[in-house]
Chains A and B, each alone.
Chain A
Amino acid sequence: MSGTTDIPPIDLDAPDVNADVLIVGGGLVGGTLACALAQHGISVAVIDSEDPEALVEEAYDGRSSAIAGACQRVLEGVGIWAHMDSGHQGPGGGVQPILNIRVTDTDSPLHLHYDSDSVGGPMGYMAENRTMRLGILARLDELKDKATLIAPARMADHGREADGVWAVLTDGRRIRAKLMVAADGRGSRVRDAAGIRLVSWPYHQSGIVMTVWHEKDHRGIAHERFLPGGPFAILPLPGGHHSSLVWTEKSRLADHIMDLDDDLFHAELASRFGDFLGEVKVVSKRFCYPLTLQFAPTYIDRRLVLVGDAAHGMHPVAGQGMNFGLRDVAALTERLVEAHRLGLDPGGADVLEAYQRWRRFDNLLMLGLTDGIVRLFSNDIAPLRLARTLGLAAVNKLPGLKTFFMRHAMGDIGRLPKLMQGTGL
């Protein structure tokens, strides 16, 4: 692996793929980055372990993402959104605008109400992860002159040297590039190989995620309830009668809930969900994720950049994981396109340092804010309960503060990359 040797084990003078940028991981963040760079004339090779064919055939697996306004502009700007927004609209396809967000505290009559009218346009969108993955695949196919998707594939070995990077796949194929991007998620192997150690702390909380069907139309309203065990979010999906649930509980309790049979699970769920949408049924598998806050102390190394969850992972309470991943994408794209148009090496240290300066501050700020919100709302101590009840009421009464929170949730705070402002590069 890199660091242990500077000499490629085999002849790399005639690689099978030669690109400006090698992206390891073709998920939502890596895939969007590939589209963004290829669209601006920077050649990319993307290695992904999942088989694209399987993704197309895959049944409705229940995982969805909230897409903040600024992220929607990125997806639109790089040509992915058009594929997500067209064709089948409804369960299993399309996008759902979030028209309204209602935040409530346990048993409290005071609540926070965000409404799309006060910001002009939807608060954000919900889409199944599968819809986004398919949109990325369709866009990569349109950009195939500049983008090479290598999937399913795994790296056997890789290295980063003064003049470039290389990778050898398990099937023997060889790739050369000027820059390597680690978009391989929380457990990033590329990051580990670079010796970048994560700073992390667990919350002893887990998020149970699933898709439900409900009798009444959700009318595009998202609900976030701060229950004693943690936030409980109901997020509207396309078609009107499906919603995505994010149910946070203390980890020990969450494990217990995951083990319940369908009837008992449903009873636990119904007691939290309520009956405002009529009858409710779970229609997907249940997923359970332990919540941890983690970040890499550095995002760059020689000819290496970390993006998305490989660089920072956060509690999903504010739905900011993908939001911040796409900010990385937009900022890195802007820096690399600038360098490309100056004829500069995309893996040059100055280019990478400029990216790191821009992103690290933003991400640490957001990690801190999200952490503060979670600690405030996941605690059942009486004075804190009072504080948050009053806090919610106060936020609702102060339009400036509310707009700040709203714009933050929509991903509009900080020095925004051009792609997030909806302007071209």
Chain B
Amino acid sequence: MAQAFATTANPDELAKFEAMADSWWDPVGKFKPLHKFNPARIAWVRDAAALHFNRDATTERPFEGLTLLDVGCGGGLLSEPFARLGFKVTGLDAAAKNIAVASLHAERNGLEIDYRCQLVEDLAQTSERFDVVMTMEVVEHVADVDLFLRAAAHLVTPGGMLVGATLNRTLKSLALAKIGAEYVLRWLPRGTHDWRKFVKPSEFAEALRAGGLRVEDLKGMSFDPLMDEWHLSDDLAVNYMLRAIKAE
């Protein structure tokens, strides 16, 4: 059995995303919820990085000179904004079609991003390290969460940070993120998520600790239906984000 889990790639999940890859940049397409989600989560990561690396987020390209690894970059919905903010971005995805879509889009937008179709555990075998490792809405789709997070943690430079986001495994998330989003509101295609694969904050933190990181902050995200916007909250029961640092 151990052999079967020696990879984080989940073939069923990969096939699902390959099939939707053309829609990544369609703001009213299948990934519309992620586009809506983006401003709040980018702001949180940006502000955390500005504080951690002592940069002023209101300046032009505040993160010039720092490297960022986007693990599970999909079509590049986060890689591109962080590249514009000055990071030297490497985007990783296990689905070849995602990498093709992301590369083409970045080129058409005049952005230099190093996109690679590679597994995180394979990159961790090399000597490359990154100031920021980011894995947003990915762990709930991988085959081996522990292996995935240990590899991601390993890729953080000493003194660097990791940011992650996922869905909690609670009754509320089953009701809202699975049944609500896929069946009632139809925000997401049915079958996007498998609730049993959602990750509790304690499990996320434990895997990172094993990889030598210390969790500094946990933040929930809630949807405001009146403003049609997402904002940060202290409710971790559905969507949450986490920030961890590696000692110098």
Contact = CB atoms under 8 A, between A and B. Distances in A.
Interface of A: 41, 162-163, 338-339, 341-345, 348-350, 354, 357
Contacts, number: 45
B27 A349 contact: yes
B27 A163 contact: no
B43 A342 contact: yes
Contact of B84 (A338, A343, A350): A343
Interface residues of B, number: 24
Contacts of A350: 27, 35-36, 38-39
A348 B81 CA distance: 12
A342 B39 contact: yes
B109 A163 contact: yes
A114 B25 CA distance: 53
A349 B28 contact: yes
Interface string B11-34: 000000000000001011000000
Contact of A341 (B25, B58, B83): B58
Contacts of A349: 27-28, 35
B196 interface: no
A344 B38 contact: yes
B85 A343 contact: yes
B80 A343 contact: yes
Interface in B40-56: 42-43, 46
A162 B105 CA distance: 10
B39 A338 contact: yes
Interface majority SS on B: helix, strand, loop or mixed?
A: helix
A338 B58 CA distance: 10
Contacts of B128: none
B46 A342 contact: yes
Nearest to A340: B84
Contacts of A162: 25
A388 to B, nearest CB: 38
24 contacts: A163-B105, A163-B108, A163-B109, A341-B46, A341-B57, A341-B58, A342-B39, A342-B42, A342-B43, A342-B46, A342-B81, A343-B42, A343-B46, A343-B82, A343-B83, A343-B84, A344-B38, A345-B109, A349-B27, A350-B27, A350-B35, A350-B36, A350-B39, A357-B228
The 4 nearest A-B residue pairs measured at CB: A343-B81, A343-B84, A349-B27, A343-B85
Given A41-B60, A163-B108, A344 B27 contact: no
Contacts of B42: 342-344
Contacts of B39: 338-339, 342, 344, 350
Contacts of B28: 349
A344 B60 contact: no
A339 B36 CA distance: 12
A106 B46 CA distance: 61
A50 B39 CA distance: 38
Nearest to B28: A349
A343 B81 CA distance: 4
A348 to B, nearest CB: 7
A162 B46 CA distance: 26
- Identify which of B82, B83, B84 gathers the most chain A CB atoms within 10 Å of its CB: B84
Contacts of B84: 343-344
Nearest to A352: B27
A348 B57 CA distance: 21
Nearest to B86: A343
B108 A344 contact: no
Interface in B114-170: none
A343 B79 CA distance: 10
User: Which interface residue of A163, A343, A344, A349 has the most chain B CB atoms within 10 A?
Assistant: A343
Contacts of B228: 357
A350 B26 CA distance: 11
Contacts of B108: 163
B22 to A, nearest CB: 12
Contacts of A338: 39
Contacts of A354: 229
Nearest to A339: B39
A344 B83 CA distance: 10
Nearest to A178: B109
Contacts of B109: 163, 345
Contacts of B60: 41
B247 to A, nearest CB: 29
Nearest to A349: B27
A289 to B, nearest CB: 38
A293 to B, nearest CB: 29
A162 B22 CA distance: 13
Contacts of B46: 341-343
Interface in B62-86: 80-85
Given A163-B108, A343-B84, 8 more contacts: A341-B85, A342-B38, A342-B46, A344-B38, A345-B109, A348-B35, A350-B35, A350-B38
A344 B81 contact: yes
